[in-house]
Amino acid sequence: MDYVAALLPPVVMAVAFTALIVVIIKNQGGENKAKEDAAVDAALARAETARQEPTAHGS
């Protein structure tokens, strides 16, 4: 019975990891991809604006 107790945590972790990978793969593409792309574009635009502001005011 000790072998069951020894194998249970790795098996549970393997199942949880597999479920995590399945969820990640299912969330790729489709309308989620458009939302992610929009979020990345907005973040890049904010970073670009923040990077240009000090040089514009410093001149």
Sequence spans of domains, the chain: 3-53
As a whole number of angstroms, the distance between CA 15 and CA 11 comes to 6
Report pLDDT digits (tens) over 2-54: 988 999 999 999 999 999 999 988 877 777 777 878 888 999 999 988 888 76
* SS3 assignment, position 27: coil
* SS3 assignment, position 1: coil
Q: What is the pLDDT of residue 59?
A: 52
Q: What is the pLDDT of residue 26?
A: 84
Q: What is the pLDDT of residue 51?
A: 84
Q: What is the pLDDT of residue 21?
A: 95
For residue 45, what are its two tokens?
A: 């635009």
Task: Please determine, for residue 58, whether its predicted confidence score (pLDDT) is greater than 70.
Answer: no
